[in-house]
Amino acid sequence: MEKERHVLVVFPHPDDEAFGVSGTIAYHVQKGTPVTYACLTLGEMGRNLGNPPFATRESLATIRKKELMASAKALGIQDLRMLGFRDKTIEFEDEKTLTDLIYKMILELNPSLVITFYPGYSVHPDHDATGRAVVSAVGRLPKELRPKLYCVAFSNNCEKELGSPDVIIDVSAFAEQKLATIRAHKTQTALFYDEFSKKLNKKDPDAFKWLHYERFWSYKWTD
Amino acid sequence: MQLIDKTIVQNYIDSFANKEIFIHLETTNGAYASHKDESFLNAGAFIRNAKIRFSLGKITGEGPYRIGLKLDSGWVYGEGLTHFERDEKGRLLMAGLNSKGQLAIALELSETPFD
């Protein structure tokens, strides 16, 4: 994999970076590439409050902000930007305002690689809306000046409609960091992590594959 | 948050009666419900910082609990409430959490706007 100039990651929720992308982020950080992570919300509307509860709807934002900072630290991300939108509301924001914001970041950082969600194939409305804004922002640049745009997709129909992911990154060297960043978001990932650890202990091939390989679809431009 | 004590919560509800207050009311099945089961109709709603005034508010049921607030010209209703907390800002935070600790409903009352 070539060394990137700057990597810009744009997702709506703390922990979106942990699941399918953290190994790739760790890889670029290790190569010495600056990584900026722009996280649109603090996941204020997250559903996991614990049993017994460790948070309330009102304290969740502060807790998840700390988790996000811990996750960024685990990955070595030096430029973490929290953009201050509210969980669940991205699709209702003014699209031009969002696109302008991301476009400005692209002009400022001049990334050679941008990572976001594939609009239409990312299940959560915040994911799709974030992906749409990033695609519009990158699309404002003339084709030859556009950074690479890698998208995460996981809707049930994504492979049927988009085909197989064209970018598969071996992140096995960063598995521990990947697990650390998932653990950093413990309020949201504890249930997942317990189950996943069991699968890993049983040497479940799918869990192993998920941990060691990250999959992206290059955005298919129509122009 | 702790498990709802009906008497305590009733007293707290009473303390908000006949005042202009802010409400956060939310229900959710989680954003991935229809992803995991495509036949599932995912429905939910939230309203945050709506101003209300109620003259009569009650908590009912044997747990999970229901809450109804009688407004000057309408009602606020919530069911499935299991937990509550009166936080440091004097807000009454109530939620319905399933056995995994996942929120299904939140109903919160405050004399000052929520962040």
E strand spans, B4-115: 21-27, 45-52, 54-60, 65-71, 74-81, 83-86, 92-97, 103-110
Using omega within 30 degrees of 0 as the cis cutoff, is the peptide bond preceding B64 cis? yes
> Over the stretch B40-50, which tens digit does the pLDDT of each residue have?
899 999 999 99
Q: How confident is the model at residue A153 (pLDDT cuts 50, 70, 90)?
A: very high
pTM: 0.93
Quick check: A49 and B103 CB within 8 A? yes
State ipTM: 0.87
- Residues 7 to 46 of A: which have CB under 8 A from any B CB? 45
A124 contacts in chain B (CB < 8 Å): 31-32
One-letter amino acid at B97 equals: L
> Over the stretch A170-209, which tens digit does the pLDDT of each residue have?
999 999 999 999 999 999 998 889 999 999 999 999 999 9
| Domain at A195, CATH number | 3.40.50.10320
| pLDDT higher than threshold 80 for residue A114 | yes
Whether B37 is in a domain gets the answer yes
Whether B115 is in a domain gets the answer no
Whether A154 is in a domain gets the answer yes
Residue with tokens 């317990």: A194
Query: CB-based contacts of A171: which residues, under 8 Å, 6+ apart?
Result: A23, A24, A26, A27, A178, A212, A213, A214
What is the pLDDT, as a whole number, of residue A223? 87
What is the pLDDT, as a whole number, of residue A65? 98
What is the pLDDT, as a whole number, of residue A50? 84
What is the pLDDT, as a whole number, of residue A182? 95
| Domain at B10, CATH number | 2.70.180.10
> Over the stretch A24-78, which tens digit does the pLDDT of each residue have?
999 999 999 999 999 999 999 999 998 889 999 999 999 999 999 999 999 999 9
Q: What domain count does chain A have?
A: 1
> Over the stretch A48-60, which tens digit does the pLDDT of each residue have?
998 889 999 999 9
Q: How confident is the model at residue A151 (pLDDT cuts 50, 70, 90)?
A: very high
- Average pLDDT for residues A119-132, to the nearest whole number? 96
Range of the domain at B41: 2-110
What is the pLDDT, as a whole number, of residue B95? 98
Range of the domain at A214: 7-218
Q: What domain count does chain B have?
A: 1
Q: How far is A156 from chain B (nearest CA, A)?
A: 7
Quick check: B91 and A61 CB within 8 A? no
Alpha-carbon distance A115 to A152, whole Å? 8
| pLDDT higher than threshold 80 for residue A1 | no
| A116 neighbors A152 (Cβ within 8 angstroms) | yes
| pLDDT higher than threshold 80 for residue B81 | yes
Q: How confident is the model at residue A2 (pLDDT cuts 50, 70, 90)?
A: confident
Whether B53 is in a domain gets the answer yes
Whether A1 is in a domain gets the answer no
What is the pLDDT, as a whole number, of residue A176? 94
Interface test with B, best of A16, A41, A49, A117 (most B CBs within 10 A): A49
Whether B35 is in a domain gets the answer yes
Whether A28 is in a domain gets the answer yes
What is the pLDDT, as a whole number, of residue A66? 97
